Structure 1
Amino acid sequence: MPELTYPQVGATAGALPDGYRHVRMQRTIGHGSDVFQRAADDLLRGEAQRRAGVDISLSQVPVRVGSTVEMRLPLGFVAFSAPCRVVWAERTPDRAGFAYGTLPGHPLRGEERFEVRLLPTGDVCFFITAFSAPGRWFTRLGAPLVRVVQTSMIRRYLGALVERPRDDA
């Protein structure tokens, strides 16, 4: 089994390591237990990535520690492969999520954590935490563009689980 491409496994759960770009973003995606349950189910099936336009394949559904995540991100006339391994996964009555770390062949080195929480107020919030650094020659060369693409993708992930009004007609 390929080894992760960074040594700070699990660091998205706390203080992010030096030497990487850090991202912490969140969005309220709805309100109430039903919204939380749907968002948790969707998150653990890779729907945030899929709805954001990423072709994703999971070795296990729902994801769990050790699951392999194979993603292909189309950018214009090319698509980038981004293999990862799940390093943390959890589901409780008010929290669900997973984190994956990069494997050889991924354009970046680092970890990304996706977490949905049902807050005491009833709000359902989606949190994404990441640390990354260029992992390939082309991501080192295009680092400013990579940061723009990464931020755009995180915003798309955050919007992917927003509760939409249901049409009962």
Structure 2
Amino acid sequence: MDKSLTYAEVGATREGQLPAGYEHVFRDARLGQGRATYEKAANGLFHWRMHRAAGLKVHGVNGPAAVGVDVTLRLLVLSIPCRVVYTVDEPNRRGFGYGTLPGHPESGEEAFFVVLKDDGEVRFELRAFSRPANLLVRLGSPVAKLAQRFATDRYVKAMQKISR
């Protein structure tokens, strides 16, 4: 099976404007206050606890998110293969982006960041762009959009829970 990413704009979720021709998702949620909350949230993110707490099964990884790591997320019968395409490890901003691999119902990239603001507030940021990977998903586009919104809400709630 070809393990190439299914889109060309690799790394586009890191910052700036997302590419045209895709649906875009942005979320920004408060997690709490202080360095300890920041460290706990970032650690949970990198060790796939957000995904597990959101109800996904995580397969194919034995360690933290790192560039080149392939992960297959599962929800019920749905297989969601992804590859980590970059990480960010700054003193007050940590996160990673992963892109879709063949077999994923969507084509695009999603990124997650934990940010410690100057005033000590800790934020969770999610940025994504995607479009249907095949005709069947395209035909079910309204359902796919609802599923994306549901997943994003679950990620936010999971990060709020693990950062406590």
Q: Report how far residue 62 of structure 1 moved.
A: 1.4
Q: Report how far residue 92 of structure 1 moved.
A: 2.3
Q: Report how far residue 137 of structure 1 moved.
A: 2.8
Q: What is residue 88 of structure 2 aligned with on the other side?
A: 90
In the comparison of the two structures, how many residue pairs are matched? 162
Counterpart pick for 2:118 among 112, 117, 120: 120
Distance 2:35 2:136 in 1: 43
Contact 2:38 2:163 in 1 (8 A): no
TM-score normalised per structure 2: 0.93
Contact 1:98 1:113 in 2 (8 A): yes
Residues 1:42 and 1:89: Cα distance change in structure 2 (over 3 Å): same
Q: What is residue 4 of structure 2 aligned with on the other side?
A: 3
Q: What is residue 24 of structure 1 aligned with on the other side?
A: 26
Contact 2:25 2:128 in 1 (8 A): yes
Counterpart residue type for residue 98 of structure 1: F
Q: What is residue 73 of structure 1 aligned with on the other side?
A: 75
Deviation per CA, 1:51-104: give whole Å up to 9, x if none: 000111253521111011110112xxxx21010000011222211101000000
Counterpart pick for 1:49 among 22, 44, 51: 51
Residues 1:91 and 1:53: Cα distance change in structure 2 (over 3 Å): same
Q: Report how far residue 27 of structure 1 moved.
A: 0.4
Q: Which runs of 5+ in 2 are unaligned?
A: none
Distance 1:58 1:144 in 2: 30
Contact 2:44 2:162 in 1 (8 A): no
Q: What is residue 143 of structure 1 aligned with on the other side?
A: 141
Contact 1:65 1:86 in 2 (8 A): yes
Q: What is residue 42 of structure 2 aligned with on the other side?
A: 40
TM-score normalised per structure 1: 0.91
Distance 1:163 1:82 in 2: 23
Identity %: 42
Q: What is residue 107 of structure 1 aligned with on the other side?
A: 105
Q: Which runs of at least 4 in structure 1 moved beyond 4 Å after TM superposition?
A: 163-166
Q: Secondary structure at the match of 1:161?
A: helix
Counterpart residue type for residue 65 of structure 1: V
Q: Report how far residue 139 of structure 1 moved.
A: 1.1
